[in-house]
Structure 1
């Protein structure tokens, strides 16, 4: 079935079209297949005048969800520094819809002269899918070619499966570029990652892993291929960009936590969203918290236990359930003060409630790492359901008097961020913010009660321990709103 060129004459909100086209650049090491895959994605928001850009898909990564799915294309469009009306992706037609290995050896590099020639050869194809509004009255439009860059050198899919709540997902081991040089062990860095197809550009969880020799059990860095290598998980460090700032938020109530520990009372944390389990595991093993964590998808929990080192124990309980329903149930429990009053609660059958002490449903900190299930407008966190005033009031009720709510925020727009701040200020006494510094995430810290400014905070044992296990830079960058 032929494609009518006039189809591309206008911008249609959120329209996504893919087609194949004979490769006009052969022979070329970058675009080496006889057929190219062209994807045209229009923005869900209008932009006037039209801003159009093209992007070359990195070789051998054509089947990666980032470049082969509509959510992946959308996020590439929305993450551009320019407010694009249309993004045109051009890449080799994938050889396999489900590749397991990305291992360019040697890596394909393209020099500036060759790249300019490649873009020149592709320009007529790009012009053919431009909207009429992109053409000036005189001359031809200038369409920039964007460059996709990340730090992934090679990767291998460990498992691909489907969860009842999150849909298709995968676990992958990746090797990243590092600042190390020579024979330094830091010259190669390996991580295990969890990704969802519905938001392929968002890494749900990642942990640092170390390759080891199966023969003698020693750590070794001499191998090249990720396939078949054995790995150990480093549980003592957080590498996910916003996890360290979330933990740094505990410094706001470090005196309160320190006092609990001195009285031999374990501080309690509720983690909404588990992913690979790196955050609840760190709170438990490195900072001595009693942790209850809830995850909506049992397949995600299975992967966390199998591949990311998540271990349930006496002080770390992990369960399947809806995070917002759990907050509602716990708030109801607090209001009624006894187990017999559960019958008056509106929320039914929250399966993980049996892991909570019925006489103490309150927590010192609630860590929220939930993203929106709806990727039609790009990645955002937390979901709108969590930002409802009723939910925030219930979350505050579940906190101890001096407790805090720590939330990973990915604002899709300035208005979303402003609305979020307003809703939190309506419910909580004080708000603090940490800019993660990656251009995407912000950590919001909401205090249930006013926090006294104490000059002795740096003298507490807990604060000193906190600075040992995380970067002190994030502690110092906390800003009161």
Structure 2
């Protein structure tokens, strides 16, 4: 028996519903039963309230509410057929329950006659589109609902909250000055583990509209037991609804299917603050042979290490999954501004959620293991927050690395998956006791506000001799290409232009280890110079100068004026446009006309070194074609496990070196640099980096 309408518009047709209820004899429960919703309904509807149910259909909701004590219920529906059936069905057992055929857009009741208007699915049936006619009908419905409610009365609307419906309802009533609260109803799981679509209960409370009042009360309850989360705008409230819908759809998909190699992730927010608390990344490995114990596992990424290749990239997480040997691995990242007391506390908090993402076929009562690096949740200490006019909000944070050392990170919050600058700390971090953390939590402070370094003065604990970034080490290794002998000696002067200061670790290292070098660092953002100086121990002197300027304009002007040249030019500048497939450098820096300017600014035996980070293969091929057209000799070093590729570009093919010569040059460079400082890290392996370069 096909009861589906030919078009969505039929949902608002009286003729359709007359036919529907003639054919449909049993109760039809749109969006769940009374038991699904009673926990929320009982919070907002009192047994003594007069309740008007609009579009009642043949649902059992009114009957079940009546049976538990709500006996002041009036039901209306546009279909006379269903009203007659409901009267007959309830005449004996529910004699005081009222059923009336009535159009809810033109009700016959007096003003302020009911304390509650209850709708389960009727608004969704009416608002099938956003045509003028439909919007007019919805406005009439809302106006009638408002009319029959007194001040303090509630419109309780159960809905799937499709985007256009939620936007209309929330905007309409919030503009009238009504507080809006939305409850997300827990999705139901049937015997075959199929999830239903998420259902929401809107609570609109009638308040008197105050002219000129700009403050609106907009709240979201993600779980039945959660306290409502206050949101600042209609847009934020609708985003919270959309996030819950996406969450439910993802659960449904992953329960029935494999992610099939897709990059599937979602973020869970803290129920009190609304800030991100956990990010889940699902890794499915079809090649893993399934046994009873390796269906599913959860891996907790230590705080501050979520940007590492193994945890922060698709390729790395797949490698992590293969190593762990599970069919599905749920990789969980912990967010800043959140307090995590212990691994046990995290397991307890997540145990009810993670099973929602278990694959089909998970044996009953299966214990799902929680994995991590040595059982450590890590340490993340936010030392400073600020805002750059050019780059937005940023944080300076200290984190504990895999080897037990501590590192300082600069992270822009508009791209939290990338560490903009990194430096090793000379001192460990003194973490406050759990007792102090709990005390601060009660005061409303975050963990990051109470943890301090053993030397809390900014910039006083940075190891300037250590290069954290492999691409910085590779850029230094490339300096071996400068001389005919393949290496620089301590008393060989050279001039360097670095575009992109960041935390200043690269220009600082070259300044300290190449004692005869002069370094000009170009930085467009004045705030970055302040950050580098205050938090990364960067300093200027007669050989180190920072020029606050646009690197593009500086190079164009320098070439056009004919004032000097540089032996080395390095580009280590990121793109602010995260929609591009190339995050370093911005496209303007690899334009053919501009690269001609770069070439003209180099000394005859000069060297141009570029840090290229491009995931778009077509775009990268185009960029490489442009560079090849400008520089006749190009060496390439691809950094293992990262997207970064370092290009060493020279002006003449006569400088071309054999692999044997490059390896020797790397060894000579290392030995030369070791003599310039009391400290040299043996992990640098500059010679090995040159050994793997190729000519393109």
- Structure 1 residue 265 displacement after superposition: 4.7
Task: Report the CA distance shift for 1:276/1:3 in structure 2 as closer, same or farther (over 3 A).
Answer: farther
1:5 Cα offset (Å): 5.6
Note the 1:9-158 alignment, pairs <5 A: 21=184, 34=226, 38=243, 40=246, 51=262, 53-55=264-266, 63=275, 79-80=313-314, 99=337, 104-106=341-343, 110=347, 118-121=353-356, 153-158=378-383
**How big is each residue's C-alpha offset from its partner over 1:420-463, in whole Å with a ceiling of 9 and x where there is no partner?**
11010000011111111133211111112221426666378546
Q: Is the 8 A contact 1:209 1:233 kept in 2?
A: yes
Give SS of 1:153's match: coil
Partner of 1:134: none
Does the 8 Å CA contact 1:275/1:300 hold for their aligned counterparts?
yes
1:471 counterpart = 2:692: no
How far apart are 1:389 and its partner, in Å? 0.4
Please say which structure displays the higher CA radius of gyration: 2
Listed as ranges, the gaps of 5+ residues in structure 1 are 9-18, 26-30, 43-48, 83-88, 125-146, 179-187, 212-220, 335-357
Match of 1:480 in 2: 695
Provide the rounded CA distance (Å) in 2 between the counterparts of 1:3 and 1:439. 46
RMSD: 4.8
Give the TM-score of the pair, scaled to structure 1: 0.66
Q: How far apart are residue 403 of structure 1 and its match?
A: 1.2
Q: Offset of 1:34 from its aligned partner?
A: 3.4
8 Å Cα contact 1:23-1:33 kept in structure 2 = no
Please give the alpha-carbon distance, in whole angstroms, between the structure 2 residues aligned to 1:430 and 1:247.
18
Matches within 5 A, 1:398-413: 398-413=601-616
Name the residue aligned to 2:129: none
User: Whole-Å Cα distance in 2 between the matches of residues 453 and 90 of structure 1?
Assistant: 45
**Residue of structure 2 aligned with 1:244, choices 473, 486, 492:** 473
Kindly state the Cα deviation for residue 241 of structure 1 after the two structures are TM-superposed: 3.1
Alignment match, 2:288: none
Match of 1:391?
594
Distance 2:279 2:159 in 1: 21
- After superposition, the Cα gap between the structure-2 partners of 1:478 and 1:160, relative to the gap in structure 1 and judged at 3 Å, is same
Q: Separation in 2 of the partners of 1:382 and 1:93?
A: 29
Out of 266, 277, 283, the position equivalent to 2:493 is: 266
Contact in 1 for aligned 2:277/2:334 (Cα 8 Å): no
The answer for unaligned runs of 5 or more in structure 2 is: 1-156, 165-181, 189-222, 230-239, 250-259, 281-305, 317-329, 360-369, 433-450, 675-679
The answer to whether the 8 A contact 2:570-2:610 is kept is yes
Question: Could you say which residue in structure 2 is the equivalent of 1:280?
Answer: 507
TM-score (norm 2): 0.47
| Cα contact 1:363–1:400 (8 A) shared by 2 | yes
Displacement, 1:333?
A: 2.4
Distance 2:278 2:494 in 1: 40
Aligned length: 380
User: Helix, strand or coil: the match of 1:275?
Assistant: coil
Residue 625 of structure 2 is aligned to residue 422 of structure 1:
yes
3-state DSSP of counterpart to 1:380: strand
- Within 2, Cα distance between the matches of 1:208 and 1:463? 20
Judge conservation of contact 1:57–1:91 (CA < 8 Å) in 2: no
* CA-to-aligned-CA distance 1:313-346 (integer Å, 9 cap, x gap): 1100012110111111111122xxxxxxxxxxxx
1:255 matched to 2:484? The reply is: yes
CA distance in 2, matches of 1:65, 1:407: 37
Instruction: Give 3-state SS (helix, strand or coil) of 2:417's partner.
Output: strand
Q: Structure 1 residues 190, 152: closer, same or farther in 2, change over 3 A?
A: farther
For 2:594 and 2:614, locate their aligned partners in 1 and report how far apart those are by CA, in whole Å: 19
Aligned partners of 2:578 and 2:371: how far apart in 1? 21
